[in-house]
Amino acid sequence: MDSVRRIAFEVQGRVQGVGFRRFIERKALSIGDMSGWVLNAKNGAVKGEAQGAVHNLERLIEAMKCKRSR
């Protein structure tokens, strides 16, 4: 069984006004077994924290990387 970890993230670039925060929220919900938060920061970034099993966090990180690189 994977151990539980917490990550903090900040994604910069063109991430506000394009649905990125909502994408992260929905992706985390679809992966499941995860808690946390995500918001649009004043500096233009999307910030958040997520807690869950390591393999679930890795899936979330990969999804953010793939979505961000498009």
Tell me the CATH number at 28. Answer: 3.30.70.100
Tokens representing residue 36 in the block: 């946390």
Active site annotation includes 21: yes
pLDDT in tens, 10-61: 999 999 999 999 999 999 999 999 999 999 999 999 999 999 999 999 999 9
Tally of domains within the chain:
1
> Of these residues, 5, 21, 26, 43, which one is catalytic?
21
- For 8, counting Cβ atoms within 10 Å of its Cβ (0-12 exposed, 13-18 middle, 19+ buried), the class is exposed
Domain that holds residue 45: 4-68
Tell me the C-alpha distance between 31 and 53, whole Å: 11
Catalytic residue among 40, 43, 68, 70: 40
pLDDT band at 68 (very low <50, low <70, confident <90, very high): low
For 24, counting Cβ atoms within 10 Å of its Cβ (0-12 exposed, 13-18 middle, 19+ buried), the class is buried
Strand partners, 50: 7, 36
Give the pLDDT of residue 66: 86
- pTM of the full structure: 0.88
